[in-house]
A = this chain, B = another copy of it.
């Protein structure tokens, strides 16, 4: 019998998956939650064999929870279940030593199969993700540039950004200019759009 824990933000998917997984003879769902914080508390208490974690959740992301699990030396295996095949996510995934990375795109049989395979010691990565690994672009921006871009993404003016980062107006504009040149765009909106599609922000 494989014991499971499910952390998934969206209520409908959470309840549907819980019930469906429970129907499998060799699987048992110990519990579920809809935010990262209670997920970690529950997992630390219940010590399931496998934790299925969404990335985008309130309070703490699935990757944060994966870190917690690893730092506490639990033998709980981790499967990340998410909507997007983003390189940015994947890099953190590897660092968090996750056992599986599945997209919400596939049917639920795929998830069930993945659970059994992970328990058998395998590591599962979605093929679409691997493909994106090659094509997707790395974030070329420095730490300061990211700070400026994040502020700009909120719609802040040069002056506001300068004040909050304790820089001069000119410096902020120069960072933005450097950002544009690195990203191959010519204004803030284009830069923000590009950063968002690559999930560099937030």
Contacts and interface: CB of A to CB of B under 8 A. Distances in A.
Interface string A164-194: 0000000000000000000001111111110
Given A16-B16, A16-B17, A189-B188, A10 B108 contact: no
B155 A189 contact: yes
A182 B10 CA distance: 34
A173 to B, nearest CB: 14
Contacts of A20: 16, 19-20
Given A13-B13, A20-B20, A155-B192, 18 more contacts: A10-B83, A11-B106, A11-B107, A12-B13, A12-B104, A12-B105, A12-B107, A12-B111, A13-B16, A15-B107, A15-B108, A16-B16, A16-B20, A19-B20, A153-B193, A154-B189, A155-B191, A155-B193
27 contacts: A10-B13, A10-B83, A10-B105, A11-B103, A11-B105, A11-B107, A12-B17, A12-B105, A12-B106, A13-B104, A14-B107, A15-B107, A15-B109, A16-B20, A16-B108, A19-B20, A19-B108, A20-B20, A153-B189, A153-B193, A154-B190, A155-B189, A155-B190, A157-B186, A188-B189, A189-B189, A189-B192
